[in-house]
Copies of this chain bind each other. A is one copy, B any other.
Amino acid sequence: MSIIVQKFGGTSVGTTDRMKRMVSHVIKEREKGHDVIVVVSAMNKTTDTLVRLAGELSAKPCKREMDMLLSTGEQVTISLLTMALQQRGLESVSLTGRQAGIQTNGVFGNAKITSINTDRIKSELSKGRIVVVAGFQGITDIGEVTTLGRGGSDTTAAALAAALKADRCDIYTDVDGVYTSDPRIVPQVAKIDTLSYDEMLRLAAMGAGVLHPRAIKHAKEHLVPLVVCSSMDEGLGTVISEGTQRKARILGIAFQKDISVIKIHDCRGGESLILYDLDSHHIETEIIKFNDTLILIVKDKDFREVKRIVGQYNQAYSSVEEKESLSKISVIGRINSHEGKENVTNIFHDCHIAKELIWESPAGISALVDRSDVEKAARILHMHFGLDSVESMRAVL
């Protein structure tokens, strides 16, 4: 039997009317004879409301309790969407993360799926039912409720698709595919029709949104094609699969606005301790080394915490230099690192964009710029690397 996993994001299920409309996507696949599993996010305003309530009680609520709280959002959606399916005469059943057998580690707020027991899902499918699964959530081996952090519902969908050897995992969202940059900032973006898993990982790692790296890794592991498509129109979207290795060297321009940097000079010996400590606090950090200088690229929200941690090891380095309110911009793709850095440096120079730092990574070339310059920088790089519109893109291929 062929299995399709569909993931409906928070906007797609934001109201009961939208839920009713999403039912047609399920019916379409059922009519083709597929078994369907739908993974849902919380209705898009629910999470905000819950976070606000928690904020009224505590400035820094306990992560375990936040997971207990936030996981209710998806549970509301699964039951409501199941009612919408049943109202259309479709046999269906909702399952929480626990009921769907989604086991995670115990990192509250950012848990990783460790295994999936698909018995219950398979049993429901064998009864001819559509299975609606709560995304974003799982359960530890001692029965604690966890959430998967950013992009969690995509991860649930891709991991389920992998575990069930699904034929495809369709990610329904409010954009109709993966673009060469953020269309709100760069009007000349082009939609990318096909990507390999590794290309998509490059884009995702650089904060290009749409899909979380964890989701892509789950799909890649079992070669399940991922399709990013719009819940509003019938366009083809972007297909991410192993077969489609693109020749284009440059995939897109990604940026993250709220970035800070901490430079630790003459860091000898303390490095591994600092990195271990950051890791045990589950802080996402990009790490660059220039000779004896250790550079940490962190999100603004983690800046204080990272400073505190680094401060504890002040015996192990000579001085610390820091700068807040920067943005990171990245040219993503397979690119000659020396040439790429020189290109970006020249372009920035010509356009009077001051850069704080430029470096290479497996995903491409990145630079730190003033926050006020990042949108302009994105548009300029998008043009200079030949990504403007489909036509200019074809020219590069």
Contact = CB atoms under 8 A, between A and B. Distances in A.
Given A50-B76, A57-B87, A120-B143, 4 more contacts: A16-B53, A61-B86, A65-B80, A75-B75
A69 B76 contact: yes
B50 A65 contact: no
11 contacts: A57-B84, A58-B87, A61-B86, A62-B86, A65-B80, A66-B79, A68-B82, A68-B96, A69-B79, A72-B76, A98-B98
A105 to B, nearest CB: 18
Interface of A: 16-17, 19-20, 50, 53-54, 56-58, 61-62, 64-66, 68-69, 71-72, 75-76, 78-80, 82-84, 86-87, 93-94, 96, 98-99, 120, 143-145
Nearest to A55: B16
Contacts of A120: 143
Given A72-B75, A72-B76, A76-B72, A65 B53 contact: no
A138 to B, nearest CB: 14
Given A57-B19, A62-B83, A86-B58, A94 B78 contact: no
Given A68-B78, A78-B68, A20 B57 contact: yes
A68 B94 contact: yes
Given A75-B68, A78-B68, A83 B61 contact: yes
A46 to B, nearest CB: 10
Contacts of A64: 93
Given A66-B79, A69-B76, A69-B80, A96 B57 contact: no
A349 to B, nearest CB: 51
Contacts of A98: 98, 143
Nearest to A99: B143
Contacts of A79: 54, 65-66, 68-69
